[in-house]
Structure 1
Amino acid sequence: MTEKLVYVLNGPNLNRLGKREPAIYGSQTLDDIGAMLEERGKTLGISVLLFQSNHEGDLVDWLHEAEDAGAHAVLLNAGAYTHTSVALLDAIRSITAPVIEVHLSNPHTREDFRHKSWVGMAAKGTIAGFGAQSYMLALEAAAGL
């Protein structure tokens, strides 16, 4: 069986997980989440590549790279760019690899400005509100695509 490649892209401030507002985002770090994804990926036949940047253009570049690398899927937690980035919307629409939008918290239970997702307009689906488990659920969904 050939391993499937899944890119996991993380946007601004997600490098602060474990320190930033743990009541909202939990106490696990992005490295903790990455290790969980890699472990589960092995059982699913998935190779996971984890990236994080506070810069919008990096996320756009990695979406393009995922496509060029033949990624089976992309898990994208765009952080605050979810609600502001037409560039990410356009980048997702420019690739054929399915993108699964991921959020630790549930944006619909938070401030009004978080209720609109530019990413969600082009994503295959969205998994939100389950903390670090959101990533694991998204990986399971990606495996089933």
Structure 2
Amino acid sequence: MARPPASTGASPSALHLGTGPATPAQARDEAHSFLSALVPRPSRESAENVLLVVSELVTNALRHAGGATALRFAADRSLLHISVWDSSPEPPRERTPDLRGYEGGFGWVLVRRLARSVAVTPCAEGGKSICVALPR
């Protein structure tokens, strides 16, 4: 699996996820715990962006890839790194957002807009990782 850069100020955190309905909530809880341990702490806006991106990535993995298989966080002096793995080799694709609110289509656009960088990498054992870097 691809690994994000080593952390500064807090240990990298990893959470292996299932496909139950609480998975996005578990992912947000793990992100909150990771962010709370960072010194110095990220700005409130950055922390909220991390929670939003984590929620979107894990929800998208559930909806489109059969579920997230792992989640990892890391931080360096200027960036917060989120990595989500799933078992589907298909890369995320942008869809036209449903302005009526029934079909979604906003998540991937939102992730890409908030991120400093996004990398989608096929995994040798199948599936893919999505690694997102956000400003700290």
**TM-score interval for Structure 1 and Structure 2 normalised by the shorter chain:** 0.3 to 0.5
Which has the larger helix fraction? Answer: 1
